[in-house]
Amino acid sequence: MKNPVFTGAAVAIITPMYEDGSINFDELGRIIEDQIARGTDAIVICGTTGECSTMTDEEQLAAIKFTVETVNHRVPVIAGAGSNDTDHGCALAAKSAACGADALLLVTPYYNKTTQAGLVAHFTAMAEAGGIPVILYNVPSRTGLNITPETALELSRNPLINGIKEASGNISQVAKIAQLCGDELNIYSGNDDQVVPLLSLGGKGVISVVSNVKPELVHNCCKAWFEGDPKTACKLQLEILPLADALFCEVNPIPVKYAMNVLGWEAGSCRLPLVEPSDAHKEKIEQALEAEGLIQE
């Protein structure tokens, strides 16, 4: 049995930026402190939501190191360190681990993709290079590549491969992973609209975008489930849905960064090729925040 890296709701945290596009570490520190104060169970830095794909290695490692030092062991810090180049991924994994991260989040190779056998070789190499627990990241809509349940089973036999962030949206596939892997692979929802369904299959939590704007809501949803109160968990899952819908009205993290700016954080803009949301979507995001009581009149 592998102990989960975290249980509950981890925030896939944004990376706030100045007007010139450089990382605003002061604001990142403030957001981290707010997240911890409001009950977030873990922090994922330099994931998709953190815009790692437009960061240099130096920026990525600086953000990871800053987060580790700011958090100071209060909650686990999970570092996005994946790549579609295995050698590059191995170097990032080793350096991220050296920064003090508690675990690594490693995405499937994108664009060049690979076979299922290639996935096993890719993740095994990066896990061994990092030497700390690994959460696989399966997001076929972005990468064009799916980790099959059988491949998840093979990877789960590696003592360093601790979990999987399942963002395929395929509940049947998640059920098959749970059946095959049991306690050898901790399952986390990669979709805010599927937290409770994955928990019901034995999942350990969620890596959440919604947690950026209301961490206590997603935390409490998971907490209710683990405390044996599925009715409350279901109620909170349904409360999450309008926020999740609004925060994914355009490609993540465009809407959540806009939302954080609306809420008074100095989130800044996304780096190109991501641009501002449309006016119609801005209105939708603002309406969802207001409905949730996050915008004070």
Active site residues: 137, 165
Task: Report whether 67 belongs to an annotated binding site.
Answer: no
Task: Report whether 207 belongs to an annotated binding site.
Answer: yes
By the 10 Å C-beta count (0-12 exposed, 13-18 middle, 19+ buried), 58 is classed as exposed
CA angle 168/172/174 to nearest 5° reads 55
Q: Binding site: what residues are annotated?
A: 49, 207
- What residue numbers does the annotated binding site for pyruvate cover? 49, 207
